[in-house]
Chains A and B, each alone.
Chain A
Amino acid sequence: MPASSSAAAPGVSTADDLIALLDVSPAAMGLLRPLHAPGTHPAEFTDLAFDYLNPAAQQVIGLPARPDATWLTRLPTTGWLLEVCRTALQTGEPGHYELPPAGPDEPGYRLTFRAVSDGRLLMGCGVDVAMSPGGLVARMRQLATESGELRRQLAQAETAAQAHEWERESFYQVFEQTPVIVGMLRGPRHLLQYCNPAFRELFPGRELTGHYYADVSPEIVAHGLIAELDAVYATGRTFYGTELPVSTASPTSPVPQQRYFDFSYQPYRVNNVIVGVSIFAYDVTGQVLSRQLREEQQQQLVALFDQSPVAICLFRGSDYVLEIVNSLMLDILQRPLEKLLSQPFAAALPELAEQGLVLVLDEVRTSGQAYVVQEKALRLAHHGPEETGYYNFVYEPLRDGEGQLTGIVCVATEVTEQVLARQQLSLTNERLLLANQQLTYTNADLDNFIYTASHDLKAPISNIEALVTALREDLLLPPPAQTDVPALLDLMQDAVERFKRTIDQLTDITKLQKAHASQLAPLRMAAIVEDVRLDLAPELVAAGGELLVDVPADLTVVFAEKNLRSIVYNLLSNAIKYRHPARPVQVALRARRTTGGVTLEVRDNGLGLTPAQQPRVFDMFQRLHDHVEGSGLGLYMVKKILDNAGGRVELSSEPGVGSVFSVELPT
């Protein structure tokens, strides 16, 4: 509170009471302030100013409540008074001064002076009884007699005034020293009645107190705050302002600096009437600047995210609310930013939640471990029915300085094109590999073919060559000695037959290689087997054997008819040919539909094959038993037909027991 102010602090009822009491008090009461010349010691005061006079004192002194006149200008003959006051100030003891009557009919007054804490003097007045028996004192006595209460109140008032004064002083010191900006405005035009050093520092070099606030602070006017002050004064409602920017220059920094203040405008009242507005403000520049810095960094971060060459988004909280979503992430998700930002994951990206990504986020949140995935197949809302996207991404937990999880950042790149390209490549490679394998088989077949063909063609040729040589030798002999000639000619004929037979078989193989899918037809297995059985009936009868056929009547298979006949014929004919000499032939043919196609099984009780012979059984021109006629091509052709059709044939055999050929025909 400013020392010059005589107004009570707002809300201090004792001050109001005191003023009220003084106003009605019949005793003269006043507050005097010693005046000393500039450059002299305060104790060397030469006059007294009237800071306040109550109505009774105004009557005694003949001056208004706050007169401009000093004691000596009003009562020049009372010089002794100064000595009494000086003593009172120095000793702290009350001093007394007899003010003589102003005229014959006037009463004389006994004035008491007592020092108060701020260096001023409280003046009280008692009336000289002898000088004025019917005067003021008598009235006071009368009043006191009439109401002992009043006296007590007077004493209380004096005590209260002292306490209040002390309190005011304490407040004042607090205000003076606080870094909080404190100011008091009075009246509807906001006369700046008090401002503390912190307030003054804000507007250096300006005269503030005693001026209207609008005149000394154009900044406040510029911010439209005078209207707010008017409103507070008019309505009594406190106004709170935040982060008011004020540009101030200081002695240390001539360049004006922007500072920010949070503040309040509070009404203050006297006797429940608003008489002014108090200003409390404190500097929040540090907070504002650090927040601005944070915001700036945040913006830089967002800009950085946005320019990042990978897709990034940030999730917060247990619902994984999307806080940041950069451009590339928007490209991936293909939906507008406003449908993502501040939305929980499950609401913004329901299709990904359904594909288990919320569970993944839960796992990251609970474990604190990053989740890294390569080429994750995901279907997003914008994908077509047959479309799938592939993504590499990381869910990385974010932590604050204390290691607490504050969010999860997702960094992603779309790799759909690469994955599809690789899948395509892989498919192509597989096909190439398959084609290559096919070619390798074909080459091996070809090598085998050339070798066996050349061998089997060469053998009769070399025989013919040797037979011709022998024949020539014999023909040179005299006719009786030409005993070998018929045999040589027969053997030559055999060799030629064998040669022709081999050529025919090779032609068959060539035809087989050219078998086309167009020959495929649905065939009743039972009918084919029956045809073959009839063809082989003579051999079966000759061998004294039996053939058991177990084929469902309705079993059909899509195959080239000639080839299916060839398979059935070769398997059955081999079973009869390579029979065991010690027992009658028993052959069982069984066919069944399976999930993969049709299986055909031919089981015999024949010679069987050793483990060493079994691998060669399907090779070209292999005849593993020598006592029967055979081209060595039958099983080779069976295997070749099945290889070409995508089927297969397997052998299980035991020498002396028999063999089982199992054929799988594709559907």
Chain B
Amino acid sequence: MLPAILLVDDDPTTNFLSTRLLNRLGVSEEIVVALNGAEALGQLQQRCPATADAACPALVLLDVNMPVMDGFEFLEAYQQLPAETRQHTVIVMLTTSMLATDRQRAEQLPVAGFLTKPLTREKLAAILQQHFGLVLPE
């Protein structure tokens, strides 16, 4: 089980559904929600590296189109964080659709994978196995 998962999306429905799925699967101690990139950055700076009070998210599910700071701006800012802030976190993009140019841009940034909305049990299982060696029970 992961210590924490950070959901970054401005759409409440997406956040509700993702939270519900993660809770049902019981893959994380804690689920944190950020409504845009700036909030997400704040959370990571605050939580990583982990302290007694706050767990550092091992996985970030990141949307692209968001107000204030979008997914790309977040990734660019994230790269500037200290290495010890970033070393325990895997970022996976979770979007409705992506242009080829957007995908190329994301590949230059610290992104571990791409998922298309909606998030499902199967999509999540593949990510957990690939990056954390976790196998979801049937």
Contact = CB atoms under 8 A, between A and B. Distances in A.
B118 A462 contact: yes
Interface in B25-83: 35-36, 65-68, 73
Interface string B97-138: 101000000000000000001111000000000000000000
A458 B118 contact: no
B105 to A, nearest CB: 14
Nearest to A494: B13
Contact of A455 (B14, B16, B35, B97): B97
Contacts of A624: 67-68
Given A467-B17, A487-B16, A626 B11 contact: no
Contact of A626 (B16, B35, B73): B35
Contact of B17 (A451, A463, A494, A612): A463
**How would you classify the secondary structure of chain B's contact residues: helix, strand, loop or mixed?**
loop
Interface in A439-467: 451, 454-455, 458-459, 462-463, 465-467
B20 interface: yes
A85 B20 CA distance: 174
Contact of B73 (A466, A469, A612): A612
B96 interface: yes
Contacts of A625: 67-68
Interface string A134-169: 000000000000000000000000000000000000
Contact of A466 (B17, B36, B66): B17
A504 interface: no
Contacts of A455: 65, 96-97
A451 B67 CA distance: 17
Interface string A115-132: 000000000000000000
A463 B117 CA distance: 8
Interface string A608-627: 00001000000001011110
Interface size class of A (residues with CB under 8 A): 20 to 34
A454 B118 contact: no
Contacts of B11: 459, 463
B118 A469 contact: yes
B13 A491 contact: yes
A570 B65 CA distance: 22
A506 interface: no
B13 A626 contact: no
Contacts of B97: 451, 454-455, 458
B67 A458 contact: no
A31 B14 CA distance: 159
B97 to A, nearest CB: 5
Contacts of B118: 462-463, 465-466, 469
A626 B66 contact: yes
Given A623-B67, A626-B10, A626-B35, A466 B96 contact: no
Nearest to B38: A626
B99 A451 contact: yes
Contact of B117 (A459, A487, A495): A459
A470 interface: yes
A484 interface: yes
B16 A491 contact: yes
Contact of B20 (A470, A494, A495, A621): A470
Contacts of B120: 469
Contacts of A487: 16
Contacts of B14: 463, 466
Nearest to A487: B16
A621 B64 CA distance: 13
Interface string A464-503: 0111011000000000000010010001001100000000
Contacts of A467: 13, 17
Given A459-B11, A491-B16, 19 more contacts: A455-B65, A458-B96, A458-B97, A459-B117, A462-B117, A466-B14, A466-B17, A467-B17, A469-B120, A484-B20, A491-B12, A495-B13, A625-B67, A625-B68, A626-B10, A626-B35, A626-B36, A626-B66, A626-B67
Interface of B: 10-14, 16-17, 20, 35-36, 65-68, 73, 96-97, 99, 117-120
Interface of A: 451, 454-455, 458-459, 462-463, 465-467, 469-470, 484, 487, 491, 494-495, 612, 621, 623-626
24 contacts: A451-B97, A451-B99, A454-B97, A462-B96, A463-B11, A465-B118, A466-B13, A466-B14, A466-B117, A466-B118, A466-B119, A467-B13, A469-B118, A469-B120, A470-B17, A470-B20, A487-B16, A491-B12, A491-B13, A495-B13, A621-B65, A624-B67, A626-B67, A626-B68
